[in-house]
Structure 1
């Protein structure tokens, strides 16, 4: 059958030789490419959602997710070394499992990056509108600044439009990036390195300012929802959410055909970028927890509310009206943390850095 066809490795390599791309990337450029793809909405935005699921235990969620990605990265490293061509998982699957599974993997990758790009757009919206509000006092109506909340009524999925209808800024940035891609754009390794430097500088500033004022009591209880939890809560449940923060690490393997000595440099780029990002994620999470606390929001009965439910949105709105909204309710957790601990200007700069750098992630996705 047609879908049983396997493209031999020799044929893949021969095709790559005929249409080979210029090999110019070294280990450093690949590592920066990986860091640029990984550090995005995950650390700037998902910190709050992870804290709602696991409390201070979200620090370990970042480590768990990073370990799982590292195992996958070892597989990518081996395959990219054997098949140093573009195409990533699609090409590898085509060579080993056949055309049908390769077709499925290809569409799964497209879905992964489409969802990731959408989520980064939402994260960018939160940071930009938070920055605008802090500087000018202007706020968009709730109906235009966030999407609807999802929940269950009698076991049936339901949609609640009371807190939002559509995220207009997210749509605008998606449209602008799409327009750039339509008219044609090219990214160089040097431009990517500059954007990575902006993001890393923002995270480093956050760590340096937050660590001197950590409070031990903010880490207790360490795992308020447990290790495994239930209904997607707990440290492992938060790790499943945080895994999204590492989406894009495989972008390094897609550049194998443009890499000098891919057998050596691709593994360095994959594992090096993951190691850098995991360390940053852990330290930033510790900074948030230790300075302002990160205990989950609970309902009247004391149950922890899922961060994507209508009940959570309503409870956060109530606390915000009282001026008591915790960091788990924030759309811009890092910038808001810095404002709370007395560094509003630096907080705005971190928000600005996220606003500048996150569109580059959307472009890569």
Structure 2
């Protein structure tokens, strides 16, 4: 665990009154008035196992219309972040129309792998910030059941013979093992952090902390008798393993024994997931005009490139960049969440 702390120890930023500046409210602030998500369900086994990705996306659009408290015709643009669908822009446009989004509302898609949904937020925020639109909708969606990751297509010989380029084609399991080896992160460290994550998720679910962000989804599931799909309401994450302990995780076999040190397992790695989320953004001026609550302010986004073979340490590079942009220090931050930061913190006094 000490090695993990050392790896993150350089997450610092310059402090020059940035916190006070960011807390100021201005009419041109880009604010979030709606942030909702589906339950996160296990691929192939969970609540969305029998749904196509366009069906999942259509349901997300329906929930936005239901909870957004605005006329959807006011949305200036929609950006859908997604990775795996074969025809993502077709799915996004048709799902929006099927859900009742008016024809005059345009749709785009964006793919930055794991951070695609966050990049959708950033794209919409930037469009609002420069005055191209007043209101925008960002969505992240993935069905790893309907669209399993097939990996890259056959690469050219030039790519294969270029070390970093060829590294970028390798499986994430390989990169995970590289990080563990290069930074001396032990299996015990990994399982301890994973067990803590499960414990926190279990407690959060039991205490109802997720209830305000999850909106129930109407899922289509095959019935046990006829195999015909029936409507079922899914309202909770189904991948949280209650009672998980470090000792139990240490017994799980390595998922990638072919790559030393072979410490990544099905217990300490993220699950294969089906799910969706949506964020409605607009200027503070527009939110006040429409009488909508301000949940948070989007401030900045930082992205960083690094050696593909250790791509998992990307946040340790991008987070300091975001802090520096805002004139903040690590001590100013109340919450770090996720592996890519799109809003650094959301104190309620911003509203």
User: Could you say which TM-score interval applies, normalised by the shorter chain?
Assistant: under 0.3
Higher normalized helix content (fraction of residues): 1
Higher normalized strand content (fraction of residues): 2
> TM-score, normalising length from structure 2?
0.25
> TM-score, normalising length from structure 1?
0.25
